[in-house]
A and B are shown apart, each in its own frame.
Chain A
Amino acid sequence: MFDNLTDRLEDAFKKLKGQGRITDVNIATTVKEIRRALVDADVNYKIAKDFTDRVKEKALGEKVIKAVSPGQLMVKIVQDELAELMGGESADFNIKGEPAVVLLSGLQGSGKTTFAAKLANYLKTKKSKQVLLVACDVYRPAAIDQLHVLGDQIGVEVFSDKESKDAVTIAKQGIAHAKSNGFNQVIIDTAGRLAIDETLMNEISSIKQAVRPQETLFVVDAMTGQDAVNTAKAFNERLDYEGVVLTKLDGDTRGGAALSIKYTVGKPIKFVSRGEKMDTLDIFYPERMAQRILGMGDVVSLVEKAQEQYDEEKARKLQKKISKNKFDFNDFLDQLGQIRKMGNIKDLLGMIPGMGKQIRDLDIDDAQFSKIEAIILSMTPEERENPELLNGSRRKRLAKGSGNTITEVNQFVKQFDQMRKMMKQMTKMGGMAKAMRGMPGLKR
């Protein structure tokens, strides 16, 4: 199901080996495989077809040079083409206006309200705007309360009228309130609606006409399937929106909908939203998205995530210790803590290209790491600093103290030892980033 493209293509490409040129005949299976991989990533079927036709055209006649496998060649063509499609000119976000107005639109449950608050927080803290949130979801129970709670959290005023069911009037009053109270940025949250709901589509068109927003955004769940094209198109026909927001990207969806939408309406993806906390708003990186759709691993994100948690000073000390083979259990415990802060371990490993498949089949359980923590915490300070001390009787004590079997303790100590050696080698190679760049399939 979640086979990545590279995995899938390996098979198809075996057939290409030993042939000098990519031809119509020998590429047919490959093209089908690519199409299916894209569809599995939720790229719209017709778009996947169109896309692979383009790839095929590019690939036809390409010489299969000895140094590059036909597989790598095809993956490169696919990746380049995809990144180009996703990219285009970088999208500005217009916050000029007195006040500047952002209008949010989208299906039910797509994440508009959470995004409204995140955007408010971003414009307030990063762009020093005086932001007013306006609550125009007059239908869903407690939707207005939800926005108020979030507004309080980030210290942004929320304009609402709980007595009214007239979203257009509330929007207008919101703008008036902003003007007379010195707000220079307004964000209007609206109710989720189906594209085929005439009444509600008319309502949001009227809001747009009434408030003339600088930015109308279409908010869409990254997990959306084949229907993404229909919805994105229908909303665009009614609202002619400026851009798209992709939400819930912290999940493990491939996010093929992003490609479908870009392809269909040609509007830029302006933000991605990846979490429930207020600071999980990102700008959009086309290349990362292309890689994600292809299942190539989100390497750049991984490295960045690692950097966020990185303490230079500490790292330098650690590096020294590792190279002297003095990495001890205290350091390990520390590292575990760091990794935990970044997210769960399976996710992190899954981001490394080439690791994807192995990891998915592995049953990595964060509970496993709690076990390890328990073992380390049962050690004396002396033992933690000197892993060599752990003889049979000490291990027995650790097993008892941490509620593990002696075999488990032995296993862990052995693994720790191996890891220590591996890390020493890695530092010789020059750190994680470099080690990763050396990995196959990552040349760009």
Chain B
Amino acid sequence: MGIFDRFTRQNDEQEQKKLEEGLEKTRTSFFGKINRLVRGKDTVDAEVLDQLEEILVTSDVGVETTLDIIEHVEERVASDQYVSTKELNRLIRDEIAKLMLEDAPERPADFDAPLPTKPYVIMVVGVNGVGKTTTIGKLAHHYKNAGKKVILGAADTFRAAAVDQLTIWSERVGVDIVKKDMGSDPASVAFETVQAAVAADADLCIVDTAGRLHNKVNLMNELTKIKKVMSKVHPDAPHEVLLVLDASTGQNALEQAKQFTKATEVTALALTKLDGTAKGGVVLGIADQFKIPIKYIGIGERMEDLQVFNREAFVDALFSGATV
């Protein structure tokens, strides 16, 4: 339990519990296994490393990243022949922490931290069904609760009832929404949303986009255009391009990160559906390869079910099961 003291920035106890529950699963299945496999062994042998490979790979970490981690572990073990369970835990934990921390010195800001500029514009992108619209509803809720004025933009004018869906979220949360008819130009919705945010002196504006598969060139070009149009209202907009990834997605998430970054210069990740049994291990490789920080995690379908991602605490929580 002590490990979760790190999460004290979350003041809602229920939220806290939910995240713990979410992480609990990850922890027991991920590092709990490392604990089991090294327990009773004082040296790291090939079998242990093979099992480590299995643990990482079955959490969707991917072969390449897994082999990287193992290689580093091996190198460090080589310099010190006899490694105990405790030392091995620390070592592996270090190596994984490095992937997450090395190039992301800043922790993502909490909801009540002042935003760098006004209005701060977030554009939300991702493949179909990952949880973009829901994440926007949750973000709006948290930022509004933190005293910020939020405006949403319904630039998914393509998927059936997408505008209705975001409208319901805006009503649920109690924030304004800019919308047009289905089928209208998404770029113009995005443009008008930023305009409306400026006019209304809003702190934050979040623009939803239609889900699209990253290998569809035309749709990716459309996304580039939507992004570009916003900068006509506000030179730096969007200030954030948030790529939403589903925790149950396998190695294809790497390609998603690559292609969405190419089209829109993704600046942050949100990892959804961590309340399920999927581990979302693929983000390790993404954070490492593309140097994109993970900012939020989704842990349910209610508007409260979103957390600011806290890397250190996340890694700690992952490992705490292994050191008990």
Whether both chains belong to one complex is answered with yes
Report 24 cross-chain contacts, Cβ distance below 8 Å, ordered by A residue. Answer: A1-B255, A42-B252, A140-B165, A141-B165, A141-B168, A142-B165, A143-B161, A146-B162, A147-B160, A149-B161, A195-B276, A195-B277, A223-B249, A223-B253, A224-B248, A226-B58, A227-B60, A227-B248, A227-B276, A231-B276, A251-B127, A251-B252, A253-B250, A276-B158
Contacts of A142 in B (CB 8 A): 161-162, 164-165, 167-168
Segment from A67-75, A103-111, A391-399, A402-410 that makes contact with B:
A103-111
When the two chains form their complex, are residues B216 and A111 in contact, meaning their CB atoms are under 8 A apart? no
Contacts of A346 in B (CB 8 A): 215, 217
Contacts of B54 in A (CB 8 A): 45
A366 interfacial by beta-carbon distance below 8 Å? yes
Q: Which of A40, A111, A227, A251 contacts B62 (CB 8 A)?
A: A40
A346 to B215, CA, bound (A): 9
A36 interfacial by beta-carbon distance below 8 Å? yes
When the two chains form their complex, are residues B252 and A366 in contact, meaning their CB atoms are under 8 A apart? no
Tell me whether chain A's interface is mostly helix, strand or loop, or mixed: loop
Q: Mark A360-381, 1 if CB is under 8 A from B, else 0.
A: 0000011100000000000000
Q: Given A42-B250, A225-B251, are A108 and B57 also a contact pair (CB < 8 Å)?
A: no
Contacts of A153 in B (CB 8 A): 160
When the two chains form their complex, are residues B165 and A194 in contact, meaning their CB atoms are under 8 A apart? no
A40 to B277, CA, bound (A): 20
When the two chains form their complex, are residues B218 and A366 in contact, meaning their CB atoms are under 8 A apart? yes
Chain A nearest CB, measured from B243 CB (Å): 14
A41 interfacial by beta-carbon distance below 8 Å? yes
B169 interfacial by beta-carbon distance below 8 Å? yes
Task: Give 20 new A-B contacts, CB below 8 A, not counting A145-B165, A221-B248.
Answer: A1-B254, A40-B62, A42-B251, A140-B165, A141-B137, A146-B162, A147-B160, A194-B275, A195-B277, A196-B277, A223-B253, A224-B248, A224-B249, A225-B248, A227-B278, A228-B248, A230-B277, A250-B215, A254-B251, A366-B218
A147 to B160, CA, bound (A): 8
B28 interfacial by beta-carbon distance below 8 Å? no
When the two chains form their complex, are residues B250 and A196 in contact, meaning their CB atoms are under 8 A apart? no
Q: Given A36-B63, A108-B301, are A141 and B164 also a contact pair (CB < 8 Å)?
A: yes
When the two chains form their complex, are residues B160 and A196 in contact, meaning their CB atoms are under 8 A apart? no
A246 interfacial by beta-carbon distance below 8 Å? no
Q: Which of B60, B63, B161, B246 contacts A109 (CB 8 A)?
A: B246
A205 to B203, CA, bound (A): 46
When the two chains form their complex, are residues A256 and B250 in contact, meaning their CB atoms are under 8 A apart? yes
User: Which among B60, B127, B129, B214 has the greatest number of chain A C-beta atoms within 10 A?
Assistant: B129
When the two chains form their complex, are residues B276 and A2 in contact, meaning their CB atoms are under 8 A apart? no
When the two chains form their complex, are residues A111 and B252 in contact, meaning their CB atoms are under 8 A apart? no
A308 to B4, CA, bound (A): 58
Q: Which of A39, A44, A108 contacts B273 (CB 8 A)?
A: A108
A366 to B169, CA, bound (A): 37
Contacts of A125 in B (CB 8 A): none
Q: Given A196-B276, A225-B278, A230-B277, are A257 and B250 also a contact pair (CB < 8 Å)?
A: yes
A276 to B128, CA, bound (A): 10
Q: Given A109-B131, A344-B218, are A40 and B249 also a contact pair (CB < 8 Å)?
A: no
Contacts of B279 in A (CB 8 A): 226-227
